[in-house]
Structure 1
Amino acid sequence: MRASLKDNIIIINQEDLPQYKKGGSVVRNSYFWALKSIACYARKGCDWEFDQPVWTALSRMLLSFTESGYLGYSETILEFDPDIPIPEVLRSVSTWL
């Protein structure tokens, strides 16, 4: 998931966010609701924002869904531009583009 960092807010590109689908995969829908529940801003059709107090929870959640094996790696890893420093707490679930 393409991500950026601005004013201590992690911003995940809306095009890379999980989609909720009625009658869809339970894992994907759970992933959608889990991410949405800790976001400080998560409107439909917009980028989602995660403030610094939830970064540990975000890291644990992404790691858990990655290790489950039900979702692809690209769906559960944060991808930053090379010029953006990755916060320490998110290094285990992040990479550079």
Structure 2
Amino acid sequence: MKVHLKDNILIVNSEDLPSYKKGGSIVRNSYFWALKSIACYSGKGCDWEFDREVWIALSRMLLAFNQSGYLGGSETVLEFPADTQIPEELRSVSTWQ
């Protein structure tokens, strides 16, 4: 998922967010609701924002969904711009674009 930082807010690109589909995969729908539940902003069709206070929870959640084997790395790894320092709380689930 392509992300960037702005004023200690992690912003996830709307194009990389999971989507909710009624009658869809239970794992994907659970992933959608789990992410949405800890986002400080999650408007439909917009980038989602995550406060620094939830970054540890976000990291643990991404690791758990990644290790489940149901979701791919592109869906559970945060991709930062090459010139960005990755925060300590997110290093275990992050890489650079």
TM-score past 0.5 threshold: yes
Q: Measure the CA separation in 2 of the matches of 1:54 and 1:73.
A: 21
Q: Measure the CA separation in 1 of the matches of 2:6 and 2:82.
A: 15
Q: Which runs of 5 or more structure 2 residues have no equivalent in the other structure?
A: none
Q: Count how many residue pairs are aligned between Structure 1 and Structure 2.
A: 97
CA offset at residue 24 of structure 1? 0.2
Moved over 3 A (4+): none
2:27 alignment counterpart: 27
1:7 alignment counterpart: 7
1:48 matched to 2:56: no
1:80 alignment counterpart: 80
Per-residue deviation, residues 16-75 of structure 1 (Å, max 9, x unmatched)? 000000000000000000000000000100000000000000000000000000001100
Q: Measure the CA separation in 1 of the matches of 2:52 and 2:30.
A: 22
CA offset at residue 95 of structure 1? 0.2
CA offset at residue 89 of structure 1? 0.8
Indicate the percent of aligned positions where both proteins have the same amino acid: 75
Q: Which runs of 5 or more structure 1 residues have no equivalent in the other structure?
A: none
Q: Measure the CA separation in 2 of the matches of 1:59 and 1:5.
A: 15
1:68 alignment counterpart: 68
Q: Measure the CA separation in 2 of the matches of 1:66 and 1:53.
A: 22
Which secondary structure does the structure 2 equivalent of 1:50 belong to? Answer: strand
Per-residue deviation, residues 64-95 of structure 1 (Å, max 9, x unmatched)? 00000000110000000011110001000000
Which secondary structure does the structure 2 equivalent of 1:70 belong to? Answer: coil
